[in-house]
Every structure is written in C-alpha cells, then in structure tokens.
Chain A
C-alpha cells in the first residue's frame, strides 16, 4: 500500500524511459509534418498536423494521469468512462426516451466500479458489472414498467456498461496490482505498455494501410481498413511489444503474445465502434478531439485491448 501513497515514478527508470520515448515520437512527428507541410502544403498534411496536436494533448493528459498520485489516476479514468458512456448513450438509437432514469443507474455504477478497483477488491471488481449490473439494470427496467421494446433496452444498456466502464476500469486496476519481487516497472509500467501499444497499433494500421493498402478487410463496416494495414500493424506492434518488454515481467516469447493480443484486441474494438456508428449513420461519435472525432473513437481499441491484456498478464503473474 505504501507504494501507492508515495510518488516514486521518478525513481522508476522503466516508466521514465517510456515517457521519454512517447515525447520523442511526438517531437519527431511534429517536426516531420511541419517540414512536410512546408514542402507539400495541402489538406492532407494539415489533417496530420492537427492529429499530432491532438496526440500531444492526449499524451500529456494521459502521462500526467498516470504518474501523479494514484487517486488522481482513478478519478481521471473514471471520468473517461463517464464521458464515453454518456457519448454512447447519447448516440444510441436503441435507448428509449423512457430509459432516462435507468441510465442514472448506469452512471452510478461508475464510481462503484472505480472504488472497487481503487481498493483492490478483485473478485467484486470482476463481477460487479458483468453479473450484478447485468441483473440490476433489467430489474430496474421491469420496475419502471414500460414494456414496449423493453428487450432492446435490457440488452443495450448492460453492453454499453461493459464497453465503456468495465473495460476501461481495467486500466485503473493495473495501479492496484500488488508489487512483484524483481519487477520494477510495476502496474504503472503495464498500464503504459498496453496504452502505448494500443495507440501505436492504431497508428501503424493506419500508416501501413495508407502505404500499401489494396485489399479491403471488412468493407461493409470500415471501408478504409485493409488486410495490408492490419497485418502490417500486427507485425509492427509485436516487434515494438518485444522491444519495450522492460515495462513488463514478460519473457521474450510472452511479450510477442502480448503484442498479438493487443493488436488483435485493438482491431476488434475499432470495428465494433465503427459498426455502431454505421448503424446510426454517423461519421464520428463527437467532435471533441480535432482530427480524432469523439471520445469513443479514441477508446474503441482500448476497450477490447485493455481487458484482454489485463487477464493475460494477470493469469500469468498475479493469479
């Protein structure tokens, strides 16, 4: 417990070095797109510059939320879940107007879930949303008494909770994992590892797709995604996962598996949100982050990659 009350990240060489790597990449991208913008001015470069600017802000917020006092990290991740759930509930056409008051119960689940993560009550943390809320939400819906299309709400609301609260809260739980002897980076290292790799995987898939993309992988959902982008991103992510495994307790082979899980999980999350948006006819889920759409567009990959990676490392080292 002492570890969580004291702020020892500066002594944590592994965490410090990955933060320097992130800042280095951002500086490199900023300079690169600035020079490109001078040589080939145009909308495409301007979009890349805008994206880089948004990346700066997101990276700085994330790094601060990770290295500051853990209680700040839990509040920050909790707010991320809240904003994502609010966005999903707002755009979903399967939520009936009569469900307003039930959605309050979904919002109230957020502080509970993050409190369980903060206290490290792992068993309750694991079942609170998939079991307790899974029963409670339909029960509240029944008590409210609007039966027309009640099945839709019974299915949609728990799924929204799973996607935005259960999944993202695993990022926070990394900070509650106990210390392992001989593993210095700790939960913060694992958190940075999975977030860094998931975001890089997005960038790699995008870049490889732009460079080599020919064959559509899932055209009806995401017309810009190609097999070349997916495989290029997959391989690059595994390579990076291998080289930054100093953030984890993994052996070389385990880090390759971790990279594969994150790359594949990120892809799944991405296409799920794309499909939800396609169903509603939206291009982006919001316009909060310039060049990136809304919050859901940013956390879609993490929503699947984070819990998948969490249970991978948990079962190998913490169970």
Chain B
C-alpha cells in the first residue's frame, strides 16, 4: 500500500512535475542505480531537495530509502507526521532526547543493518543557496562504525531559488542535481571521514560548474 502510494507520488507525479515544469536536471543519474544499503549525502537548500532525490531513485529502492529528518520539525503536527510516514518515508531523529532514548547514530545504523538506505543532509538545516555550510558529525560517526557501507555524494544547484526556505510560492528555474560515484571511506577518524565526505560533495559542485564553463 505504502509502496504503491510512493511509486505513484514520486514516479507519476513528482518526476514529470520536477523535470518538465520546474526544470530539475539530473547529471550522472546512473550513479543512483544501487542495490545494497547506501548513504546518500547531499547539500540542502530547499524542501525540493528531498523530493528530487526520492524521485530520482530506482523504483525498487524507493520504499527502502529514508531521508533522515528532525523529529521536532517533521513530527510536530499530525499532517507533517502523516507526510513523513507515508510519503517522505522519513527516519525521524530527536534532536533533544530524553534519557534512555536510543542515540541518533544507533537508529540510523539499525536501519542500514536492515538493508535500508539513508539520505543525509549533513549541513543540518536548509542554508543559503549554493553556499555549503560546515558538515555535522553524524555521517562520520555512522561511516566509522560501518566502513563497508558506501556513500554517494550529491550536490544540488538552483533549488534554493525555486523554493527557498520560508517561501511558499514555487518559481520554476533550471536546477541541477549532480550525482557522484559511490565510494567507501578510507579514514578511520570521525572528523577526517566528515572532511572526506564534505570534499566529495564539493567535488560534485565543481562538476556542475565545469559542465557549462569554458
């Protein structure tokens, strides 16, 4: 049931809407054709980011991929809770947790161990368009404990103009999603892993720049 709803929403509604009306273009989308659990790491400027990534996934992976989101934002109203459960397929993480709650890292690793994939926005919140903020530690903590799980670096450009933070009106602009090759971390220190992943995402930003420049 949920699978049908998600396929209908992302493949039949979102995909054509994003590519024809909004103007989202995928660069190297074949890099997303993965089977096993992966961690998709991307910059974050807009709610459209999650929509574009989910719509770009292979149909089989759709239900087994969870965007990681903050519980205090996406779980604070019945409507948002319905959306995150049935449509976004989100994995909600509590930012302020009480004693005894499992740690966010444990929740995410638990999901990966079940063979599911995660979408992480390590910048934390939606920042200013095209400006990469410093990455948070979470992605490093996970990859340190599960170095055999690959990550896919992604950079998105233009979404921050289509639907910026705090805006309700969507305005079509050409925007690009550059998808990097999957890679395994070769660091063992949390901060170094975070740095490596951040570099990989930055590299995808350069891929987009070089696509059009001389």
Contacts and interface: CB of A to CB of B under 8 A. Distances in A.
Contact of A90 (B164, B169, B173, B211): B173
Contacts of A103: 171
A103 B214 CA distance: 28
Nearest to A287: B211
Contacts of B212: 282-287
Give the contact-size bracket for chain B: 10 to 19
Nearest to B163: A100
A281 B158 contact: no
A153 to B, nearest CB: 14
Interface in B94-152: 129
B174 A87 contact: yes
Nearest to B175: A90
Nearest to B27: A287
Give the interface size class of chain A: 20 to 34
B177 to A, nearest CB: 13
Contacts of A83: 23
A86 B214 contact: no
Contact of B174 (A97, A104, A286): A286
Contacts of B211: 287
A107 interface: yes
Given A83-B23, A281-B213, A283-B214, A90 B171 contact: no
B23 A86 contact: yes
A101 interface: yes
A89 interface: yes
A132 interface: no
Nearest to A106: B171
Contacts of A101: 169, 171
A283 B161 contact: no
Contact of A281 (B129, B172, B214): B214
A253 interface: no
Contact of B173 (A89, A286, A287): A89
A86 B172 CA distance: 7
B25 interface: yes
A319 interface: no
- Which of A87, A100, A103, A288 has most B Cβ within 10 Å? A100
The winner among B167, B173, B212 for most chain A CB atoms within 10 A is: B212
Contacts of A97: 129, 161
A285 B212 CA distance: 7
A286 B175 CA distance: 10
Interface string A268-303: 000000000000011111111000000000000000
Contact of A104 (B129, B171, B214): B171
Given A281-B214, A282-B213, A284-B212, A100 B169 contact: yes
Contacts of B129: 97
A91 B208 CA distance: 13
A244 to B, nearest CB: 34
A19 B49 CA distance: 43
A283 B23 CA distance: 20
Nearest to A283: B214
Interface of A: 83, 86-87, 89-91, 97, 100-101, 103-104, 107, 281-288
30 contacts: A83-B23, A86-B172, A86-B174, A87-B174, A90-B23, A90-B161, A90-B174, A91-B174, A97-B129, A97-B161, A100-B167, A100-B171, A101-B169, A101-B171, A104-B169, A107-B171, A107-B172, A281-B213, A282-B212, A282-B213, A283-B213, A283-B214, A284-B212, A285-B212, A286-B25, A286-B174, A286-B212, A287-B211, A287-B212, A288-B25
